[in-house]
Structure 1
């Protein structure tokens, strides 16, 4: 057999011949001679030592082996086409609309910087932002990509971890000025505590250090499912609360809030970029995911726990 015989090409030609039910039509579609098509099929049958077609002057029929082999030939053609599309996408233009979902406080803090930075690199991209504390069905709501700060992830989503955030126990200096100092987690029992109802165990705050773990019952006078509202209440001296590190750090640096029990680990949560699984991920989504990974990796507060 000639060294220039292309087995994969012959498989693709065989699939085309069957689809067109004609050597002549297949040759026309492929832009080659009928003789070349016939020669490739003959060589293919010789290569696999199996007859694939019954040939008559009027029609072509598949042998039993041909029916089985055809499915694999069609797979070869489809994989080749998908590979070509993937390469086109790789070198294509990043454009179009990205529908993006995130929790409210998360989005308020991060998404402005992330989307504006991405838009500078790829000005033909537009964003539609969905800020909601409910976990959305990305496929049903036609959302391209989402930021999630939770371990509750659907099995049909691709999840890429980009960082982690911690919880801080915080209060305003004005509130603490006439209160009992908080030295140990148990000291919180004598303080006015504010709760975030996003957690199932809102009345139990958990701490750990080198000496062990602690579960402290908390009786909160305010419960709300919105971190920014908790932060505002803290700044007004309403009590003690757990805040995400990304919401509290600036106020702690400026002295508007005090971090309590800094030697105790409270809770930490992974940050994921998630998107629906698909064989050919749109270039705009792939580039945005890569950009978001880089954005978080360049900020130490999301990696230093």
Structure 2
């Protein structure tokens, strides 16, 4: 139909062939095949001139509408590539609502104002299969469990152990994970005490501290810590400013807890030029991540 439209609008097989970068015989062949398919002539040909039949006039109008719609669609895709738009649904753990992690979402939104960010925060691993989630940001110490999804490692996050000065005051200074067995633990992560201890020195602990509260929300767990109810273990960037300012005490600054790997997980059939890939690339390539203590290395 596009070849027919070009011939009809130019009034010449030879000119149409030149515009389409085809040979005149190929152009004539396509027109003949189209007429054969429709069962009616579309063009009257003579040695001096060419004219359209009634069917040809009707088909030309339909073809022009089709071409215009296709051009509009292609232009829309090109505009989308230059300035992406649409809804991007992201699943992440509740600590990512806190500074400095929240700045990642803010800067993406500022860079791509036509993208509607829909962020779902939950410390449970929400199943991705059958969901509308475009990208999930997850930390793992074991293999990923979303086998039908692709994953790109963003980096890793270092844990630290901290408490409020009011809780630390009067207690003997701890030097190892084992020294915390007599303290009170505000548990905000699903990782067990044994896994934490093994990440520090590779051995299983003989004793476990008393858990005084378990929260699947960082903000609430942090409130318990601020009130002096016990210590907490979380990623260092979340509390770095408070430790530097003296609002929190870093209990084991020399302990090197094994960092947790952080992945961006997205559907395997996610378009490479879609906004999910755009977001992951954005997270991977931002130099400001290190400058603002995003915590990924």
Same fold (TM over 0.5): yes
CA deviation after TM superposition for structure 1 residue 285, in Å: 2.2
Residue 206 to residue 147, structure 1, CA distance change in 2 (3 Å): same
Match of 2:274 in 1: 283
Match of 1:94 in 2: 84
The SS at the match of 1:143 is coil
Deviations, residues 146-198 of structure 1 (Å, cap 9, x unaligned): 21122434111111111211211111111111112212332212222222351
The 5 Å alignment of 1:242-281 reads 242-278=233-269, 280-281=271-272
The SS at the match of 1:136 is coil
Deviations, residues 43-81 of structure 1 (Å, cap 9, x unaligned): xxxxxxxxxxxxxx99xxxxxxxxxxxxxxxxxxxxxxx
Aligned residues: 231
CA deviation after TM superposition for structure 1 residue 255, in Å: 0.6
In the aligned structure 2, how far is the partner of 1:92 from the partner of 1:204? 46
Match of 1:147 in 2: 137
Match of 2:204 among 204, 207, 215: 215
RMSD across aligned positions (CA): 3.4
Q: Which runs of 5+ in 1 are unaligned?
A: 1-29, 41-56, 59-83
Match of 1:170 among 120, 139, 162: 162
Contact 2:159–2:233 (CA under 8 A) maintained in structure 1:
yes
Deviations, residues 126-152 of structure 1 (Å, cap 9, x unaligned): 111111122233352211112112243
Greater mean deviation of Cα atoms: 244-253 or 221-230: 221-230
Match of 1:118 in 2: 108
Residue 279 to residue 127, structure 1, CA distance change in 2 (3 Å): closer
Match of 2:53 in 1: none
The 5 Å alignment of 1:196-235 reads 196=188, 198-199=190-191, 201-202=192-193, 205-206=196-197, 212-216=201-205, 217-218=207-208, 219-235=210-226
Residue 33 to residue 124, structure 1, CA distance change in 2 (3 Å): same
Match of 2:64 in 1: none
Is 1:157 aligned with 2:131? no
Contact 2:165–2:248 (CA under 8 A) maintained in structure 1:
yes
The SS at the match of 1:266 is coil
With normalisation by structure 1, the TM-score equals 0.64
Deviations, residues 179-237 of structure 1 (Å, cap 9, x unaligned): 122123322122222223512x246641566xx53432313222232332222211111
Q: Which runs of 4+ in 1 moved over 3 A?
A: 30-35, 37-40, 87-93, 107-112, 202-205, 295-298
Match of 1:236 among 223, 227, 240: 227
Match of 1:191 among 183, 186, 199: 183
The 5 Å alignment of 1:289-300 reads 289-295=280-286, 298-299=289-290
Residue 135 to residue 204, structure 1, CA distance change in 2 (3 Å): closer
Match of 1:138 in 2: 128
In the aligned structure 2, how far is the partner of 1:258 from the partner of 1:34? 82
Match of 2:49 in 1: none
Match of 2:47 in 1: none
Residue 189 to residue 119, structure 1, CA distance change in 2 (3 Å): closer
In the aligned structure 2, how far is the partner of 1:176 from the partner of 1:110? 26
Deviations, residues 65-122 of structure 1 (Å, cap 9, x unaligned): xxxxxxxxxxxxxxxxxxx99x958844311111111111223445642233122222
In the aligned structure 1, how far is the partner of 2:279 from the partner of 2:189? 31
With normalisation by structure 2, the TM-score equals 0.65
Residue 215 to residue 296, structure 1, CA distance change in 2 (3 Å): farther
In the aligned structure 1, how far is the partner of 2:175 from the partner of 2:193? 21
